[in-house]
Amino acid sequence: MRAEAPTFHVLLTKAEAEHLQNALDLYSRLQMGQMWIIADYVDPAQEGVEGRLAFTEKLRELQPLITGDPRPGVSRYPSTRNFERGEQVRDLFEHVRYARTRDPFAVPLRYDPQKVTEVLSD
C-alpha cells in the first residue's frame, strides 16, 4: 500500500491570494517559454510605452532559445519536465483564481473545492 502524499493548508488574505495567483501564472508561462509575460509584471510606471514594447520584444527573442521553436508566439513546453511542472502549476493557478474571484471563465475542469476554498468570516 502506498502512503498518502503530505498535504498543506495555507491561509491567505485576498491580497496574498492575488499575489499567489500572479506568481503561479508567471511560473506556468515561463515553463511554456512565454518569456514576454515578464513584461506584464514589470511596473508600468517604470518605463514609457516605447520602453515596455522594446522590453517585450527582447523577451520574445528568447523564446526560440527556450522552446526550440523559431516561430514567434508559439507556446510549447521544451521538455516533459516543463510540461509536468507547467500543467500542475496552471491547474493550481485556476483553483486559486476561481476561489478568489468566482469568475465563471476561471472554473478549472477538475475543480476540487477541498483544494482551494474561500473562508467566509462571520
**Grid-cell match 514594447, residue found:** 53
104-120 burial by CB neighbour count: b if 16+ within 10 A, else e? eebebeeeeeeebeeee
Please give the full DSSP string across 68-100, using - where no structure is assigned.
S--STT----SSHHHHHHHHHHHHHHHHHHHHH
Q: Which three cell numbers stand for residue 111?
A: 475543480
Please give the distance of CA 113 from its chain centroid, rounded to a whole number: 19
Sequence spans of domains, the chain: 14-106
Please give the distance of CA 60 from its chain centroid, rounded to a whole number: 17
Helix (H) or strand (E) holding 25: helix 14-31
33: nearest Cα among 85, 106, 104, 88: 85
Q: Which residues, 6+ apart, have CB-to-CB distance to 60 below 8 Å?
A: 35, 36, 72, 73
| Per-residue model confidence as pLDDT tens for the chain (122 residues) | 566 777 777 888 889 989 999 999 988 888 888 888 888 777 666 667 788 788 888 888 887 877 777 776 677 788 888 888 888 888 888 888 888 888 777 766 666 777 777 777 75
Question: What is the pTM assigned to this prediction?
Answer: 0.71
